[in-house]
Amino acid sequence: MKKIDKEIKSFARLVYKLTRRIPRGKVVTYQTIARVMKNSGACRAVGNALNRNPYAPLVPCHRVIKSNGEIGGFASGVDKKKKILKKEGVKITNNRIDLVKYGYKFKIKK
């Protein structure tokens, strides 16, 4: 059981580390974070880790959205997430964010 706990903690740490790299005014998807972690099927696990984010706002989980551009969930409520994103300059139209305009591309370190 301790090994599983350790793996969960290291997974969440990596999610938080990647999320910290998202600059103000940009967003990424849960799927993007999972892919950067080389675990494309872990989108839901990324969302779960962010839902329990103890480091907000240092780890800006509000900058992570669904792959179709929809806002997605937020522990403090979706309206709060929208308000923060708008304050950062992200335009939300019909409950969606333009990923071409506001999407952040991770630079993969080699």
Residue in 18, 42, 45, 61 annotated catalytic:
61
Per the annotation, the verdict on 43 as an active-site residue is no
Which residue type is seen at 81? Answer: K
3-state DSSP of 7-50: HHHHHHHHHHHHHHCCCCCCEEEHHHHHHHCCCCCCHHHHHHHH
Nearest Cα neighbor of 65 from 78, 56, 83 is: 78
Which residues are catalytically annotated? 61
